[in-house]
Structure 1
């Protein structure tokens, strides 16, 4: 019987036609990093949804659920692309925690402004890493690059929604 790590490894036996196994493995690794980040983001958004309080509560509370649903769809797309390339998508709680390179979201029940400032920082990290992934994918897999580009457009719009709550009339972000 295979150990858990062996059962979830990315030993590629096949990949998409026209793609070599080394490019597929690198693509899978990049997509798995993005999958981990988006699974974490999805949970963080729902956590904020449950714990945001204060002025403008309902607007922020209701703004977050569509983002959760959209990010959930992104995770499914990434996981299916990983499988298409011959990999094994990892989405267990332990795999998420083990693969993260960032600290856990540390706000519980908190005011709208505090959560939105923290969420803006979460989006900075996720979106910045999506851009880095695009640079690498442009060299090895245009299909995955296109997927990440589409996701980034939505993620940047969600960050703009967050920042609109923090922005002054002169365009400065409150912190």
Structure 2
């Protein structure tokens, strides 16, 4: 039965000791879980978004879904390269995560985009923490995470561009919950 942390294979990359590899694979497993959840959340939004801007948001999300899914594969392969065994089963991932499922079902585009603003904020903040931890022991993993962060930040900007007024005000400013951000985004559109 899979555990919440990757098993170790008794080896790692040259120049890294087992303790460093174990710590790093735990960090990478956290990112694997978070980005798998983001991939599935984006697909959920893609399937459940409605309203006048449906097609724009529906089509904007497809490349994000594919790129985030590719990030999970890259992380899983890095865990294996470091001698770990990536955990990719839904049950294990759900038991490992510290957040709840995405809270919106069928909703208009502005509500989903408002909620995604909050989701991306959390994912990116955690990605930046992982970059710092990886940078302490492994520039290769750090570089991988930095490249992923750049894409995540770009995708976040795409989402936020829909929520920004011409004066630069963000409809979701100050919101910390998905529902609160969804409500604020919907109110700003009215």
**Match of residue 132 from structure 1:** 129
CA contact (8 A) 1:82 1:88 kept: yes
**Match of residue 32 from structure 1:** 29
**Match of residue 14 from structure 1:** 11
Residue 67 of structure 2 is aligned with which of 58, 66, 70? 70
Select between 97-106 and 156-165 the one with higher mean Cα deviation: 97-106
**Match of residue 83 from structure 1:** 80
**Match of residue 117 from structure 2:** 120
CA contact (8 A) 1:12 1:21 kept: no
**Match of residue 150 from structure 1:** 147
Select between 147-156 and 97-106 the one with higher mean Cα deviation: 97-106
**Match of residue 96 from structure 1:** 93
Shift of 1:12: 3.8
Unaligned runs of 5+ in 2: 172-183, 185-190
| Root-mean-square deviation over aligned CA pairs | 1.1
Distance 2:148 2:48 in 1: 26
Runs of 4 or more off by more than 2 Å in structure 1? Answer: none
Name the TM-score, length of structure 1 as normaliser: 0.95
Distance 2:90 2:30 in 1: 14
- Alignment: residue pair count: 171
Name the TM-score, length of structure 2 as normaliser: 0.87
Distance 2:130 2:73 in 1: 18
Distance 2:18 2:9 in 1: 7
